[in-house]
Structure 1
Amino acid sequence: MAEAVEVNRARLLEGLPHGFLGRRGGVSTGEVAGLNVGLGSGDEPAAVAENRCRAAAAVLPGAPLVSVYQVHSPDCVVLGADMWRDADRPHADALVTDRPGVLIGVVTADCAPVLLADREAGIVGAAHAGWKGAVGGVTDSTIAQMISLGAQRARIVAAVGPCIARHSYEVDEAFRDRFLAENGVNARFFVEGRERHWQFDLELYVAARLEAAGIAGVERLGLDTYSAPERFYSYRRATHRAEPAYGRQISLIAVG
């Protein structure tokens, strides 16, 4: 029997079509075995296409799936009529929409996926927050674009999905210094590790950025991509294992 697609859901987004997916339930093989949805992963295009269809069907059957061409930026776009084909994806790391019945999504492989919603306004967002995009303000840009469509900051809730956890994310002093230069209070997201190295809490940092934006609520799922190879893809794990390729998982949301 084929393995079912695993969908991790957030309490704050309950009732909305959404899900943080992993690698279970797909058709890809080899190093990227499972539900690899990365269009640029080097996987067989037919397998990626099938996996993306399975992912969408697990969250909102029959809905089209729209994503962006991610570049580790702070940029967010509003879903437009010219974005429906994969070849037309704009370069950005977040997107928002008020169109019912359309799944929007971001792919990750250690970076933090963030799903946001203002239920009352019928507006949702999805953001890819790697460390560059996170410190650059990708979540702030996503909230701003949602507000431009009619959302209200005090009604927006957000959930941070599977990403690399602090105990799995070693960084050097230069990395830490970038965050301290942005704001000295960022020291709280780092725990001292081996000599001249630190453990960075990406999930907590992203959640703190969301909370500082003044939205109604933030939820952290607490799922580590690095330490669960049977459930999630991880760029850092693949690098440490000298694997030739790595897959990407997807996080999806739609207006209810």
Structure 2
Amino acid sequence: MTAKYLTSSLLDGLSGIRHGFFTRCGGCSEGLYESLNCGIGSRDRREHALENRRASMLALGAGDADLCGVYQIHSADVIRLEEPWGPVPQHKADAIVTRQKNVAISILTADCAPVLFADPEAGVIGAAHAGWQGAFGGILENTVREMEGLGAEKARIIATVGPAIAQSSYEVGPEFRDRFLSDETANENWFGPSGKENHFLFDLDGYVRHRLDKTGIKHTGSLNRDTYSEEELFFSYRRTTHRHEEDYGRQISIIMLS
């Protein structure tokens, strides 16, 4: 079965750039990981996760290219990829930028927001893992800064937020909200009532878009897909937690210069 993925209308058709926000569909994993689990760090069979990563590259028509990711730690750290390091992550970080061709950079998610970046004129791309910690800590701003260091310009950079947990599925407590309000009172915009006393619904997608806009990027978009509620398409850490399941799969998001 072919690995299934979604694309961004903003990134579609850009010369020399391929991308995909992959779903959980079209792989070889079983059980909790059915079926396109690309998380090497999960408890899934390692050979299945590696085969699913290969299937994702084949679906993009890039089976001969290298696929690289990072060991994600919910940080604001960005790695510049100068040469491929192979299928197993070699660096702890939450974003990758590169101008190397025929090397696919990737991010794994299961509720956090994957963000893919491109400046097609400069030939610079980026991929960021933006959970609330990373977004709050500056992962998006740092990704843009590193892209600029490779020759990209904010006026040309295009960024798209992929499938992430939606506000209607993301209930948080008062201490979570207070952390955001102490940083910027306007962050009140990203919290709505949950129906439960002193609890709130957090708009991760909206907050990530807000942080992208603050960088000065002019072209941003979102797929507006909910990893929590769309179970047939996406893995979800929070859904797994609510069900007291022992583990969860991860979907992969990929961008490359061909």
When the two structures are superposed, what TM-score results if normalisation uses the length of structure 2? 0.96
Higher helix share: 1
Partner of 1:247: 249
Structure 2, unmatched stretches of 5+, are none
Q: Which residue in 1 is equivalent to 2:227?
A: 225
- Over residues 149-184 of structure 1, what are the superposed CA-to-partner deviations in whole Å (9 max), with x where a residue is unaligned? 000111001000000000000000000011111111
Q: 4+ residue stretches of structure 1 with deviation over 6 A?
A: none
Separation of aligned partners in 2, 1:254 and 1:86:
15
After superposition, give the CA deviation of every residue in 1:52-101 in whole Å (9 maximum; x if it has no partner).
001111124221100001000011110033x5134452100000010111
Deviation per residue, 1:181-206 (Å, 9 max, x gap): 11110000000111110000000100
SS at match of 1:11: coil
Q: Distance in 1 between matches of 2:256 and 2:89?
A: 20
Query: In 1, Cα distance between the equivalents of 2:219 and 2:90?
Result: 30
Does the 8 A contact of 2:68 with 2:88 survive in 1?
no
Match of 2:59 in 1: 58
**CA–CA distance in 1 between the matches of 2:27 and 2:88?**
22
Quote the residue 1:33 is aligned against.
34
Q: Secondary structure at the match of 1:57?
A: helix
Q: In the TM superposition, what is the alpha-carbon distance from 1:131 to its structure 2 partner?
A: 0.5
The residue that corresponds to 2:111 in the other structure is 110
Deviations 1:228-252 (A, max 9, x none): 1110000000111111110000000
Which residue matches 2:150?
149
Query: Which whole-Å CA distance do the structure 2 matches of 1:213 and 1:243 have between them?
Result: 38
Distance 1:111 1:46 in 2: 25
Measure the CA separation in 1 of the matches of 2:104 and 2:54. 11
Contact conserved, 1:60 with 1:103, CA < 8 A, in 2?
A: no
Show the counterpart of 1:5: 3
Does the CA-based 8 Å contact 1:57-1:63 persist in structure 2?
no
What's the secondary structure of 1:155's corresponding residue?
Answer: coil
Q: Secondary structure at the match of 2:116?
A: strand
Q: Give RMSD over aligned pairs.
A: 1.0
In 1, distance between residues paired with 2:191 and 2:109? 22
2:159 corresponds to: 158
- Partner Cα distance (2:75, 2:55) in 1: 28
Equivalent residue runs for 1:66-77 within 5 Å: 66-77=68-79
Q: CA deviation at 1:255?
A: 1.6
Alignment partners' CA distance in 1, 2:198 and 2:42: 33
| Contact kept in structure 2, 1:166 and 1:201, CA below 8 Å | yes
1:210 corresponds in structure 2 to 212
**Structure 1 unaligned blocks of 5 or more:** none
Partner of 1:79: 81
Deviation at 1:40, TM superposition (A): 0.8
Q: Which residue of the partner structure matches residue 18 of structure 1?
A: 19
What is the distance in 1 between the residues matched to 2:4 and 2:53?
13
Does the Cα contact within 8 Å between 2:113 and 2:130 map onto a contact in 1? yes
Q: Secondary structure at the match of 1:145?
A: helix
**Cα distance in 1 for residues equivalent to 2:256 and 2:172:** 35
SS in structure 2 at match of 1:56: helix
Query: Whole-Å Cα distance in 1 between the matches of residues 59 and 103 of structure 2?
Result: 14
Distance 2:88 2:59 in 1: 24
| 3-state SS, counterpart of residue 155 of structure 2 | helix
Structure 1 CA distance for aligned equivalents of residues 146 and 193 of structure 2: 37
- Counterpart-to-counterpart distance in 1, 2:118 and 2:248: 30
Give aligned-pair identity as a percent: 48
SS in structure 1 of the partner of residue 253 of structure 2 = strand
Secondary structure of the structure 2 residue equivalent to 1:231: coil
Deviations 1:95-135 (A, max 9, x none): 00101111100000000000000010000000000000010
User: Which amino acid in structure 2 is aligned with residue 201 of structure 1?
Assistant: D
Give the aligned partner of residue 44 of structure 2.
Answer: 43
